[in-house]
Amino acid sequence: MNTITENVSDEFTVENLLDYDELRKEKTILRKAFSMMLNHSDPIPGNSYAQMVLDTARIILEDLNLGTESVKCLMLKNLADNGMLSPGTIETEFGKPVRELIEGIHKIERVDTKNYNTNRENFIGLLLTLSPDIRVLLIRLGMRLYDMRHLNDYPTEKQCLIVGETTALYIPIAHRLGLYRIKNELEDRIMRFNDPRTYEMIKRKLAESRADRDHYTTDFIKPIEQRLLENGFDCELKSRIKSIPSIFRKMRTQKVEFERVYDLFAIRVILNKTIENDAADCWKIYSLVTDIYTPNPRRLRDWISFPKPTGYESLHTTVIGPQGRWVEVQIRTRRMDEIAEKGFAAHWKYKTQGKAGIKTDMYAAIRELLENSSHSSLDKSISHEKKALYSDEIFIFTPKGDLKKLKVGYSVLDFAYEIHTGIGSTCTGALVNDKMVPLRYILQNGDTVKILTSKTQKPNPGWLEIAKSPRNIARIKHALKMESYKDSDWGKEIIKNKVLQLGFEFTDPIINKLAAFFGCETILELYQRFGEGKADPLKIKKALLEPGPEVQPIVPPKEETFPETVSSIMAGKGDYVIIDPKIRSLHYQFAKCCGPAPGNAIFAFVSVTQGIKIHRTTCPNAHQLVTRYPYRVLEARWKTLEKDDKKTK
């Protein structure tokens, strides 16, 4: 790709438009649209609005291969922007497709791209999906190319915005759509703006080395031309200078000066004769070239036998030329070259080892459509082709300008849960584009959404009909289940304490027997019923004593000697502490922090998760427990000490 020139084209007039066959057929309606534009357009510093429209029209006609409807859209867009032409009038006088194109461009221009650097992929996805008509994006690319060609006409702040957006969004989009020529020009102009010193240095050195490069190219091509003629091949051979940004990337990647970048250019061999067996002929030419110059087998790229998913076809090889310099040689037919030069060839993922994504087939179809369609049919057919582009995704703005990806058909409630489960569970509605909407409102691509919440809001069964995401539905079901069994923990403690008081172990057979007795389908339901106070704890005794699964009460401890008793106490066995004389066999544990033993002064403390704990009164934690939680402290004494007191008396 040669370096771009300062002046892209001479002045382009409305009469020039009529040089295009299809536009000539609609010259009356085009002149009408142009006349309306002239009567209502304001001058732009450095250029007239009319000239800007005409220059952009030339881009979309020559570089993007679009047709009449796209040109009408450009002419009428400003009138629609300023309210001088209603959508209804546009549709009546110029057709529905023109109105839809204008509306699509308006959507793109309204997108707030201030956070594009942190959400590049989402912003790209949004721009690709705002309109089902791919021409909207192509027209916008043409407009952006015009902006970059006339960057000096804008104030500095606007220049920085245009360059930033182009780098982050429009160059990747051009690359993905196979608009490789446009991508290269945008990169060239951006480097000229961002790093003019380096740009001019490389440009100057390219000019200085041109004579040597031309001489080397002539010497390299001469034996190839002779061998091709000898074998009856009608070919054009030409050199292609790499773009300045591409050369600069090589300098940085290889960490070398300009003089040490040897692959500044590539030789392209184009087979003119169009025949059915063009692939075989390309390989024959390859064999002739590599018979003259030794190839590097690791640098062979066969895009003819295995075309890229986007349709790009060419043979690439790198050979050792005169003076031991590596030279890239590209071999293709005229058809292949024309497709590539138009820009609609599949250069998507060209520099990433051809790993095309799931959308590649769509881009290939666009390329094929643009390649094979005439101007007259193009505008009508392309608007209906491949509307499935990102068809299952929408992109939503947060109030801070961040962009979130969502599925088509998702509601406000889904979006709230996607942000955070806590926000979803307390969501009451949202402000969508500053308008209040309910939870069930279905979000549209490009909406700006502010979620509204309330501390008193909780999920309810109706939300299962509102949510569309399987993940969010599962979250709501879990929240509803937890709400239904919110008292189950308390109910479990009630049952556990009662079972232990009755002298039974708190085991699975016991719990299952109680669940069957109280008619509960699950253990969680049993706990919840007791937690809500809907079951009588006094009936637990009846349940355990009734015939059923065999449940053995705890055997009363045998009389032990004092040393045996102390040993049992310290091992946590038996019931040797009196906490409340009215309650028989209250379950407790000895605190590990102080290790109480018979003879120590003790007290009982009701913990939240581990039941009753027995502490020494001299425990390091005693003061904190008694002062902070006095209502959870119970008196306690040793049974063995009580017996000893009676004997003494």
What are the boundaries of each domain within the chain? 14-193, 204-342, 393-484, 488-545, 562-648
Block residue for tokens 């909407």: 437
DSSP state of 297: G
φ/ψ of 519, rounded to 5, equals 70, 35
Block residue for tokens 């184009």: 270
Q: Are 496 and 506 in contact (CB under 8 A)?
A: yes
Looking at residue 641, its pLDDT comes to: 44
Please give the average pLDDT of every successive group of 10 residues along the chain, which has 649 residues: 46 61 70 80 58 86 81 88 86 89 85 70 74 82 92 90 88 78 90 92 88 88 91 88 86 83 83 74 88 83 73 83 87 79 40 39 47 42 41 75 81 90 89 88 86 88 87 83 69 83 82 82 78 78 68 45 41 53 61 81 72 81 74 71 44
DSSP string covering 62-106, please? Answer: HTS---HHHHHHHHHHHHHHTTSS-HHHHHHHH-HHHHHHHHHHH
Six-digit token pair at 142? 């043409």
State the sign of the Cα–Cα–Cα–Cα dihedral 596, 597, 603, 605. Answer: positive
CATH 3.40.50.1000 for domain 393-484, yes or no, is no
- Distance, in Å, from the CA atom of 500 to the CA atom of 522, rounded to the nearest integer, reads 21
Looking at residue 556, its pLDDT comes to: 45
- Distance, in Å, from the CA atom of 245 to the CA atom of 196, rounded to the nearest integer, reads 11
Looking at residue 14, its pLDDT comes to: 60
Looking at residue 579, its pLDDT comes to: 61
- Distance, in Å, from the CA atom of 25 to the CA atom of 11, rounded to the nearest integer, reads 23
With 0-12 CB in 10 A as exposed, 13-18 as middle and 19+ as buried, what is 630? exposed
CATH of 14-193, one of 1.20.1440.230, 3.30.70.20, 3.40.50.300, 1.10.3210.10: 1.10.3210.10
66: nearest Cα among 383, 364, 378 = 378
Looking at residue 187, its pLDDT comes to: 93
pTM comes to 0.56
- Distance, in Å, from the CA atom of 77 to the CA atom of 192, rounded to the nearest integer, reads 30
Buried b (16+ CB within 10 A) or exposed e, 417-442: bbeeeeebbbbebbebeeeebebebe
Looking at residue 611, its pLDDT comes to: 63
204-342 topology per CATH: Beta Polymerase; domain 2 (3.30.460)
Q: What Å distances lie between residue 202 and 3, 256, 257, CA to CA? A: 10, 13, 10
Q: What Å distances lie between residue 319 and 253, 294, 325, 400, 631, CA to CA? A: 21, 5, 8, 53, 90
Block residue for tokens 């409630």: 413
Q: Kindly report the CA angle at 407 between 402 and 408, in degrees rounded to 5? A: 110
- Distance, in Å, from the CA atom of 170 to the CA atom of 140, rounded to the nearest integer, reads 9
Pairing relationship of beta strands 449-453 and 588-590 according to DSSP bridges: unpaired
Q: Letter for the amino acid at 555?
A: V
